[in-house]
Amino acid sequence: MTDDKSQLPELRASHADRDRIAEQLRVAAGDGRLTMDELDERLEKALNAKTGSELAVLVTDLPAVAASGLALPAEAQELVKIEVSSGSAAREGRWVVPRAMEVKAGSGSVKLDLTKAVISGPTLRIDATVRSGSLTIVTKPGIEVIVDEVSVSSGSAKVRQPPGAESVPTVLRVTVSGSVRSGSITARPPRRGFLAWLQRKPVTYE
């Protein structure tokens, strides 16, 4: 009797398989390889995938991701541009921090969460133009944000250091320049969930 393995049913995808592919998609989006619309579309397909082949087809045109979350190779872009009018844009999770960014926010919002980002160099320069919108930079100990070069009209540019920042060496220095009209540029640590706030638990970064 011939053992025809081709007739065996394909193995079903596990939660870990879906999470791994989702992480690879997020890294690719942070590296500029996918647009936010493409990321949303592929993440939805990944979450609904039933087999390994359905997952594999979502990343055939993307670099592999190591267990650490780094794209292989994890080459940072020289410049990333983000522009929103009345909507919102965010970079969160394990995205690769570029060398420089240009951010324009009309009445919308832009959020750059650096707490789990892949830091590829010692500096990030952000040229920001904020009207009535907002730019929020989420930090952690080891990330220093400087907003001294921001011109403010009736808005604000504020930096709130995360707890314990003074005892951690700087691994990334973010220099923000540009202008704010009636909007805001804010650098702050992550917000605690309501339960963590009630229990007075410290902010965690993982």
More confident residue, 105 or 9: 105
pLDDT score of 163: 82
Task: Give the rounded percent of residues in the chain with a pLDDT score beyond 70.
Answer: 82
Overall pTM surpassing 0.85 (yes/no): no
Please state the domain extents for the chain. Answer: 1-74, 76-206
DSSP string, 2-41: ---GGGSPPPBPPHHHHHHHHHHHHHHHHTTSS-HHHHHH
Token pair recorded at residue 30: 């942070």
The closest of 108, 74, 102 to 89, measured between CA atoms, is 108
Cα(28)–Cα(1) distance, rounded to whole angstroms?
46
Q: Which of 44-48, 73-77, 100-104, 170-174 shows the highest mean pLDDT?
A: 100-104
Amino acid in the structure at residue 59? V
> Does residue 199 carry a pLDDT above 60?
no
CA angle 59, 42, 83 (to 5 degrees): 110
- Cα–Cα distance, 36 to 44 (Å, whole number): 12
Name the average pLDDT for the chain. Answer: 82
What is the rounded average pLDDT of the residues 69-92?
77
Order across the sheet with 156-159: list the strands. Answer: 88-91, 109-113, 134-138, 184-188, 156-159
pLDDT at 26: 81
